Amino acid sequence: MVTRFYFLSKKMAEDLTIPKEGSKEEMYESLYPQLKALTEDEPDLIANMANIASALKEAFGFFWVGFYRVVGDQLVLGPFQGPVACTRITFGRGVCGKAWKEKQTVIVPDVDLFPGHIACSSLSRSEIVIPVLNDGDVRAVLDVDSDVVNSFNEVDALYLEKIASLLKF
């Protein structure tokens, strides 16, 4: 089965095709070139963050997908898909703050076992956060939450890092 969904860009409707029954790798392999094509001619950071969040939510059915941008000494909520979320996160705090501070992807198999986890929703059970870098500086993070424990592994880390690197600052 193939699921089609549509994006409206300034030029035209974009049709992304995702194999819903493939392996995680197959789904990311299918999604990545489509996201690359969708973002490469669009210089606006927020527009590209918005479409990436939408595509990941639609393709994988994650509970929450979104970006926080680095603004001064805080992360500020950016484009996202899912329930309303915490607006600001301090450097080093929570999973997002840890990914920012350490400049590394953080996978949390069970949020209840992560000291300092910031629970924007009690339904979130596992999480992955990818730092989005530009010239060695973290400019944003991509946060993906699941309502099931153990949802994320190195495959997600690999492809989400690749997807995050599509963003231009």
The interface region with ligand SME, picked from 11-19, 20-28, 82-90, 130-138 by CB under 6 A, is 82-90
31 binds ligand SME (CB under 6 A): no
Using the rule CB under 6 A, give the single segment among 11-19, 40-48, 85-93, 131-139 that binds ligand SME: 85-93
- 79-88's contacts with Cβ under 8 Å and 24+ in sequence apart are 79/46, 79/49, 79/50, 79/53, 80/53, 81/53, 81/54, 81/56, 81/57, 82/57, 82/145, 83/120, 83/121, 83/123, 84/120, 85/120, 85/121, 86/118, 86/120
| CB 166 to ligand SME: min, Å | 21
Options 9-17, 46-54, 55-63, 115-123: segment touching ligand SME (CB under 6 A): 115-123
Q: Which is nearer to ligand SME, 38 or 60 (CB)?
A: 60
Contact between 132 and ligand SME per CB under 6 A: no
Does position 120 interact with ligand SME (CB under 6 A)? The reply is: yes
Enumerate residues 6+ apart whose C-beta is below 8 A from 58: 3, 5, 16, 18
Query: Should residue 86 be labelled a site residue for ligand SME when binding is judged by CB under 6 A?
Result: yes
Q: CB–CB of 34/54 below 8 Å? A: no
Nearer to ligand SME, 58 or 127 (CB): 127
**Exactly one of 64, 67, 100, 152 binds ligand SME (CB under 6 A); which one?**
64
